[in-house]
Amino acid sequence: MAQDDIFGPQGVASPAQSVTWNAQGDVRTTQGDVESHKVTAGSLKGTKFSLGPCNTRSMSRAWRVAFAPLTFALSLGGATAPAAAPSSSDTASDTARSQRAWAAACSDSDGWDQPGPPFRIFGNSYYVGTCGIAAILITSPKGHVLIDSGTEKGADVVVANIRALGFRPTDVAILLSSHEHFDHVGGMAKLQETTGARVFASPAAARVLLTGEDALADPQYGMHPPMRPVARVGVIREGQKVRYNRNGLVLTPLFTPGHTPGATSWQWRSCVGQDCRTIVFADSLSPVSSDAYRFSAHPGYLAAYRASLAKLAATPCDILLTPHPSASGMREKLAKGSLATPAPASCRDYAKGIADRLDARIAKEADGG
């Protein structure tokens, strides 16, 4: 087994030791490919979590995190096999028709929880989110991967859309996330309970999922209500691939801090026969913050932000998806044709657009704005 991979049910993760975050927020004595968090109340008062060079967060309760061995011996829907996927004989015109149906049902001004019809993006990749918040389902005959949950209310729409496509929610085996804000992961605890899937996130995002509270280093800290905490979260390392059902689904995480400290973009391949597309679910990356926050006052975070944009710009990308569909012009693309039409420059153009907005924001801060 590759050292840098997380495997599905046919793979076994290597053992891991127990870990405690110390007062500086450092993780000590880690070992193994996957860390599975089991959170209990601790006795170290005033523990702080360090979320990078910018800030730390004082916690009224300490948390001890036990990293246990993880085997991925998953039970997908009990003793039965996963539900059959929609027919692979669906034509390109069928896919385009379902995509146009979403464009007709949804508008860019629709709210985060507004239901919209699910549709096939390309191959084994499907859109199952709401009109305002994306959730992406990547399927396989032995179980599925879902990226993002939407809000707690939006998670109900996601579950209904999975069923509408002919899949069983209990066949979702892995839950991933883009960034750790409640409009995208507020329903993650509900989905974990509904599906029985394992949740994985970047280290900074995992801490937010486990506590339900935004990180102090988040530019939008203080703007959001708390979320229902996720009971158990596995930590993914930078560049560590997520493989489900060995030789099946393979997703590559790209840590792209900026919009949040734990933001993660995802890349994978979907195929129809020998015709394949590289799909990227790029994080929001927009320079949005509270009124009091100044990106220029956090040079380390700003440097990481710019590095994220450069990384995304250099990432191969035929189909671009974003947590807010409007950020990548998804509705316009669906209304005009097929989302599956290769657009290799889409990630580069998206990153450049965000970089221009970030430059404008820094210039405004320099002028006292």
Q: Given this model, what pLDDT does residue 341 score?
A: 83
Indicate the SS3 state at residue 296. Answer: helix
pTM beyond 0.85: the answer is no
Report domain 5-12+98-366's class: alpha beta
Q: Given this model, what pLDDT does residue 94 score?
A: 84
Q: Given this model, what pLDDT does residue 247 score?
A: 64
Taking the chain (369 residues) in consecutive chunks of 10 residues, what is each chunk's mean pLDDT? 40 26 27 31 29 32 27 29 50 84 90 94 96 96 95 97 96 97 96 97 96 95 94 92 83 97 97 94 96 96 98 96 95 85 92 97 91
Distance from C-alpha of 90 to C-alpha of 233, rounded to nearest angstrom = 36
Answer yes or no: are the C-beta atoms of 210 and 37 closer than 8 Å.
yes
Q: Given this model, what pLDDT does residue 150 score?
A: 96
Distance from C-alpha of 271 to C-alpha of 218, rounded to nearest angstrom = 37
Comparing CA positions, the residue from 300, 259, 305 lying closest to residue 283 is 259
Using the structure block, give the residue that is written with the tokens 């929610």. 169
- Two tokens, residue 307: 């590095």
Indicate the SS3 state at residue 67. Answer: strand
